[in-house]
């Protein structure tokens, strides 16, 4: 995970081009922001070193909405009933995490 205050606009532009391609080719897209263990997410938030993460959902939602695609912020694992113990290495979710994410969506 890289530190930063703002999102990478070049990455947003590339994502937008992909979304337009999928839309033009009648491919439905469902996107999500990946899950973080609560302990990791809290440390990132309070460190103030990852300020861009708070901005990603707003920017990505605007792009997804243009094409009527779905986008979910699943970065907080507690919202779909998972705890830190369901994370493999304190960052990546286990199969239980991803099953609960799919049910939530």
The more confident residue out of 74 and 52 is 74
In a domain, 59, yes or no: yes
Q: Residue 16 pLDDT > 90, yes or no?
A: yes
Predicted model pTM: 0.81
In a domain, 60, yes or no: yes
In a domain, 31, yes or no: yes
What total of structural domains would you count in the chain? 1
The whole-angstrom separation of Cα 29 and Cα 22 is: 7
- Which pLDDT does position 27 carry in this prediction? 98
In a domain, 62, yes or no: yes
* Full 3-state SS string of the chain: CCCECCCCHHHHHHHHHHHHHHHHCCCCCEEEECCECHHHHHHHHHHCCEHHHHHHHHHHHHHHHHCCCEEEECCEHHHHCCCHHHECCCCCECHHHHHHHHHHC
Percent of the chain with pLDDT over 90: 32
In a domain, 4, yes or no: no
Domain interval for residue 36: 9-104
Could you tell me if 29 and 70 are in contact, meaning their C-beta atoms sit under 8 angstroms apart?
yes
């Amino acid at each position: 995970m890289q530190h930063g205050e703002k999102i990478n606009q070049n990455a947003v532009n590339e994502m937008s081009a992909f979304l337009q391609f999928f839309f033009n080719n009648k491919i439905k897209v469902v996107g999500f922001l990946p899950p973080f263990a609560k302990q990791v997410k809290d440390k990132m938030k309070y460190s103030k070193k990852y300020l861009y993460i708070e901005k990603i959902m707003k920017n990505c939602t605007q792009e997804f909405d243009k094409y009527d695609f779905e986008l979910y912020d699943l970065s907080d694992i507690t919202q779909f009933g998972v705890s830190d113990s369901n994370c493999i290495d304190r960052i990546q979710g286990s199969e239980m995490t991803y099953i609960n994410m799919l049910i939530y969506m």
